[in-house]
Amino acid sequence: MTDPAYLTVGDLARRVGVTVRTIQYYDQQGLLSPSAKGPQNQRLYTEENVQDLYRILTLKYLGLSLSEIKSDAGLFRDASAFHALADRKMDDIEKDFQDLFKRLTTMRALLEASNEPDEVDWATMAATIERSQDDSQFFWRLTCINESGLTEATDEDIALRGQSVSKWHELIADTIRQMSEGEPLDSPGNRDLARRYLELDESQQTLSANQNFILMENISPHHGRAHGHHGEDGSFDELRQSVCDHLDAVVASYQQTG
């Protein structure tokens, strides 16, 4: 009979939500050894093993290889080291995020440029790509959207807009996460979103959540009409609108309660 203080491999798999095969593989790789052996060499695990498995899955999600997790197992048990790792990975994702949207704006510009002619004008395509690769133009189009339209961007403007893009990415990501929590509009998390939004809104002198939203239709929109349909891409548009609606709601609540 198994000691109630121990978990079998099946118990551990159900507890954490992975397959038995995953646990066995981590065992073979020297990442997750059982704490004890039972009858017939049965592998038994403790609460410490549960935490070890959660740690492995978390670090794997952050992009570490299994060999890195194994070699740095002790290091990442420290909260400050984990925080530094997560911060570094956030920087990497931020860069990838900007690169992805820069590529997205280019692709949308290519679609728009190729929509009219019967024959592809390759010189126009190449010029469109070159124009879209201009970093200053990209950052300016992302964040400088106001009644006066686009203006000339200085080096200082580009740096400031780049910082603004990062802050907007963080705010959007936190808003999506906060929406999934289903908390009241006046919860501490939602009040923090409202405060950050108002600070960004004031610094950019813009008008509404829709104008400030980084992933929005103003950035070389790809309209459905390019493919013979009406309206815009549904899933993106719905996400954008949901985030904007949530920000508007939490800001209204924040301003009412002071």
Fold (topology level) of 7-77:
Multidrug-efflux Transporter Regulator; Chain: A; Domain 2 (1.10.1660)
- CA distances to 8, 64, 135 from 81, in Å: 31, 14, 33
Q: Using one digit for the tens of pLDDT, what is the confidence trace for 154-176?
A: 666 656 666 676 777 778 878 88
CA 164 to chain centre: 16
What's the pLDDT at 118? 77
Boundaries of CATH 1.10.1660.10 in the chain? 7-77
What's the pLDDT at 235? 52
What's the pLDDT at 156? 65
Q: Using one digit for the tens of pLDDT, what is the confidence trace for 100-136?
A: 767 776 787 788 778 776 788 888 888 878 776 654 4
Q: Are 29 and 65 in contact (CB under 8 A)?
A: no
Return the HEC string of 128-147: HHHHHCCHHHHHHHHHCCCC
Q: Using one digit for the tens of pLDDT, what is the confidence trace for 49-90?
A: 999 999 999 999 999 999 988 887 677 778 888 888 888 888
What's the pLDDT at 186? 92
Distance from C-alpha of 20 to C-alpha of 22, rounded to nearest angstrom? 5
Q: Taking residues 246-252, what's their average pLDDT?
A: 91
Distance from C-alpha of 53 to C-alpha of 14, rounded to nearest angstrom? 12
pTM of the model: 0.55
Q: Using the structure block, give the residue that is written with the tokens 């019967």.
A: 118
- Give the count of beta carbons closer than 10 Å to the beta carbon of residue 172: 19
Distance from C-alpha of 256 to C-alpha of 241, rounded to nearest angstrom? 22
